[in-house]
Amino acid sequence: MPPVPPLTEPVSATPPAPPVPLAALLARRDLGLRLLTGPEDVPLHWVHTSEMADPYPYLLGGELLMTAGVLLTDPAHYVGRVVEAGAAALAFGVTPVYDTVPAELVEACARHGLPLVEVPPRTPFTAVARALWRLMAEARLHELRRVTEAQQSLATAAARPAPVPAVLGALASRLAGRAVLFGPDGTESVAAGREVPAEAARALRELAGVLGPRPGGPASASGEGGGLRLAAYALGGGDGLTLGVATERRGPGDHTIAGVAVVLLSLLTAPHRGADVTVRDGALVRLLLGAPPAEVAGALGPGPWTVVHASGGDGTPFAAASLAAALGTPLVEAGAGTEAGAGAGHAAVRLLLPASTPVTPHEGWTLGVSAAAEPDGLAAADAQAARALRRAQATRAPLVRHRPGGFAALVDPAEAAAHARTLLAPLPDPLRETLRTWLSLHGSWDRTAVALDIHRNTVRQRVTRCAALLDRDLDDPDVRMELWFALG
């Protein structure tokens, strides 16, 4: 069989950069765009050009749809389908088909509240697309710079004589809001930033109370109150302290900035090292010098133990410490190597914690968890956690636990069925049937077209649509195998 032609690159389900308001594109005088109807503050996530009579099947939502109206016969129906697909705005190029934007199209867009932009003859559609991508790249760069500057500001504040108020002040300044450190009983310990309405202050205190010092409880929570966006984060010192943040709006990088503050505050408010910590560290030294694990097990603490391998994080130096604080253990090794498949720029972390401590998924991390083990079985538990992490990465699961029982236990039938439902959820039935037939015929466009009694170009369009909705590279044999089993 001849090689299958490569598909167009699948469109990610997550925008590659923050959205750009339509107004920013309209402000580009070199493009000469003119808004005919609709709001100009809608966010644009993508740009797509189509001359199909019904572009609905090819839209993901949130895009600026560009057309010259080659097959435009019923403007009202066309706009209805565009709105139904979730497009953010419509751009109409005048000439060569139309000399002006059809009045029926303007009326239909006005009726649906869909922004309609006129593209002059001298402006190619590719110029509009290029301008939008550049604006998105600039927005992404701006956000990265903001997060980096905030991290530096927080680190500088942590080195001041009164570090806790300084860190809270830096956080409140960077997020343009209020930052509060709550004690275990819910009272304000330290606060910084502008005052907020009493309703917002009360809601923030209640949100912080949701976290509390409960073992295995949530590490963060978010909500709204008093017209403000609220967030609360449990500190990792184990003494029930909570950070609360109230802001007017929430930017893409705010969670990362708050996470850095959480790690710094956890370190700054942690209890002083006691005799039990000294004994434990002495036991670790003895292990490093070759002492049998059973000999120092008593000093390490009551067993059994669980080993966790983790990959991910936000790329900051505090990522591993933040995860360890969230899991409630000081026994963490950052930069544990890449044998578990840690991606570039992501931390590879190993953690050791009592088996009684619950391990739950954490945003931004992929976790592999071993079975409970006594001290003399920690080496085997370490290998179990590494294999579990590899399985988690292969199945794109946030957490996988070791399951004994050989090859038959590697895939649980109910778990596999649930994974298949989740994996194929974006595909409607016609696309599933096309993908199943295409895979069964080894990616042959012509044979699939004959089997389904449709044109080969329709097969290409549907399979490309499948790749976009699933965010998978269908030229990858591993991806094809996973989809084949899921469709079976």
pLDDT in tens, 110-166: 999 999 999 999 999 999 999 999 998 888 888 888 888 888 888 888 877 678 888
Tell me the CATH number of domain 20-135, given options 3.40.50.880, 3.40.50.970, 3.40.1390.20, 3.40.50.510: 3.40.1390.20
Q: Provide, rounded to the nearest whole percent, the portion of the chain with pLDDT above 70.
A: 81
From 58-67, 281-290, 461-470, the region with the lowest mean pLDDT = 281-290
Nearest to 479 by CA among 445, 439, 449: 439
Nearest to 25 by CA among 87, 82, 91, 86: 91
Residue ranges of domains in the chain: 20-135, 159-269, 302-409, 413-487
Q: Which pLDDT band, with edges at 50, 70 and 90, does 7 fall under?
A: very low
Give CA–CA dist 203/232, Å, rounded. Answer: 11
Give CA–CA dist 356/106, Å, rounded. Answer: 64
Helix (H) or strand (E) holding 190: strand 188-193
Helix/strand/coil for 4:
coil
CB 200 within 8 A of CB 246: yes
CB 114 within 8 A of CB 90: yes
CB neighbourhood size of 453 (10 A): 6
pLDDT at 364: 81
pLDDT at 10: 39
pLDDT at 408: 44
pLDDT at 3: 38
Give CA–CA dist 374/294, Å, rounded. Answer: 9
Residue 5, sorted as left (phi over 0), alpha (psi -120 to 50) or beta, turns out to be beta
Q: Note the pLDDT tens digit of each residue in 307-365.
A: 899 998 766 545 676 677 778 777 777 765 444 344 433 447 888 888 888 888 888 88
CATH code of the region 413-487: 1.10.10.2840
- Give the mean model confidence (pLDDT) for residues 435-445: 88
435 Cβ partners below 8 Å, 6+ apart?
427, 462, 463, 466, 483, 487
Q: Note the pLDDT tens digit of each residue in 258-305.
A: 888 888 888 777 654 444 555 555 555 555 556 666 666 666 665 688
Q: What is the dihedral of CA 180, 365, 405, 408, to 10 degrees?
A: 130
pLDDT at 17: 61
CATH class of 159-269: alpha beta
How do 46-49 and 63-67 pair as beta strands? parallel
pLDDT at 309: 92
For residue 96, whether the previous peptide bond is cis, meaning omega lies within 30 degrees of 0, is yes
Q: Which pLDDT band, with edges at 50, 70 and 90, does 383 fall under?
A: confident
Q: Which pLDDT band, with edges at 50, 70 and 90, does 183 fall under?
A: confident
Higher-scoring residue by pLDDT: 13, 217: 217
